[in-house]
């Protein structure tokens, strides 16, 4: 792939989904992709679990309220995404029509086995509409484990694009030093960080990661007002009576020196834009390249297991050796001819 070492524009979409409505949220996402492209963006980043929503209710509803949690989980599952499938095809069409790369947060169905577990997943789509790959969050954080399964190393990676090497970590994966280092080692230049987190110290984490890896960091969060939740959901009245902004946002874009290109934006739905300069990645690595001259592989070693860890291993009976005959048990009397 030919690298274009010229400035390029990125967009961080700080918006709310159409709550628990996959098709309407996808339609909204496609409109936002087109809007960002008209503003000159070449990379458009969406928040964590944007389709059909981040399951924030796990932070409000007590875990013993299983009836409430089951009902919401069932609705979330009904509106979750199969990869690949109709949603990825529609997003690919939108990316191709707009001529942009897209990183999209989704709730993904584990169609490879039960079809009833969800993963917190990022989709990476290029400007031709091709699905480059996906990343499943390695560790759901605290209450998220009531909703999401754990990803494995097979979906951890970096993608070559015309404007640089693109990688992503989801929310508190940014607090996993070895996950960050893996992406640095693969040469990440633009690190997207879709999230539900906001405020301090999250914003400091975005800045630290940018400075540590000498990468651009695109922090992208949902801005969700209480009014975005339909009144038909009982938990809105039971557990959110005094909440105005369920999440204020705090999306931000940071340069490789750890300085804001776009400072955090709160309590509004908007698109953040920044023009990134590729030389701002390479220049600062003169002083610090943690996966290069600042590494000490003679002292520290990181092994990454990229083999999938499937639930089922189906063995072809034709490839199995023939079963050995098992002797029929006999009693001591029979053994002695009695």
**Active-site annotation, residues:** 48, 137, 171
The whole-angstrom separation of Cα 311 and Cα 192 is 29
- Residues 222, 54: contact at Cβ < 8 Å? yes
For 67-117, the three-class secondary structure string (H helix, E strand, C coil) is HHHHHHHHHHHHCCECCCCHHHHHHHHHHHHHCCEEEEEEEEECCCCCCCC
Task: Indicate the pairing of strand 270-276 with strand 260-266.
Answer: unpaired
Of 81, 98, 82, the closest CA to residue 30 belongs to 98
Of 241, 244, 198, 204, the closest CA to residue 221 belongs to 198
Coil, strand, or helix at residue 316? coil
Which residue in the block uniquely carries the two structure tokens 């996950």? 179
The whole-angstrom separation of Cα 107 and Cα 55 is 9
The whole-angstrom separation of Cα 175 and Cα 194 is 13
Of 173, 181, 95, the closest CA to residue 139 belongs to 173
Which residue in the block uniquely carries the two structure tokens 């503003």? 39
Tokens (6 digits) for 292:
């290069």
Question: Angle, nearest 10°, between helix axes 177-185 and 202-213?
Answer: 30
The whole-angstrom separation of Cα 116 and Cα 179 is 27
Which residue in the block uniquely carries the two structure tokens 């906001």? 198
Tokens (6 digits) for 59:
């932070």
């Amino acid at each position: 792939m030919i690298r274009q070492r010229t400035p390029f524009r990125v967009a961080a979409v700080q918006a709310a989904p159409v709550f628990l409505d996959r098709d309407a949220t996808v339609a909204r996402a496609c409109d936002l992709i087109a809007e960002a492209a008209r503003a000159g963006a070449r990379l458009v980043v969406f928040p964590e679990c944007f389709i059909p929503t981040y399951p924030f209710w796990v932070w409000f509803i007590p875990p013993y309220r299983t009836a409430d949690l089951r009902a919401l989980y069932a609705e979330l599952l009904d509106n979750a995404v199969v990869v690949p499938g109709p949603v990825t095809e529609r997003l690919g069409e939108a990316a191709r029509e707009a001529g942009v790369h897209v990183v999209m947060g989704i709730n993904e169905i584990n169609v490879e086995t039960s079809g009833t577990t969800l993963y917190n997943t990022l989709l990476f789509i290029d400007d031709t509409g091709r699905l480059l790959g996906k990343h499943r969050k390695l560790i759901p954080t605290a209450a998220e484990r009531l909703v999401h399964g754990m990803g494995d190393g097979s979906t951890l990676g970096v993608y070559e694009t015309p404007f640089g090497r693109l990688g992503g970590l989801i929310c508190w994966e940014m607090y996993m030093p070895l996950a960050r280092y893996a992406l640095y080692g693969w040469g990440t230049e633009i690190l997207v960080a879709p999230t539900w987190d906001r405020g301090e110290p999250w914003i400091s984490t975005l800045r630290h990661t940018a400075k540590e890896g000498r990468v651009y960091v695109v922090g992208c969060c949902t801005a969700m007002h209480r009014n975005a939740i339909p009144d038909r959901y009982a938990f809105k009245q039971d557990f959110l009576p005094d909440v105005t902004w369920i999440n204020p946002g705090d999306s931000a874009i940071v340069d490789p020196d750890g300085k804001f290109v776009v400072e955090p934006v709160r309590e509004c739905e908007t698109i953040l834009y920044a023009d990134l300069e590729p030389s701002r990645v390479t220049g600062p690595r003169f002083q610090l390249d943690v996966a290069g001259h600042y590494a000490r592989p003679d002292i520290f070693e990181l092994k990454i297991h990229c083999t999938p860890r499937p639930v089922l291993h189906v063995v072809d009976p034709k490839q199995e050796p023939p079963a050995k005959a098992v002797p029929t048990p006999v009693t001591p009397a029979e053994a002695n001819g009695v």
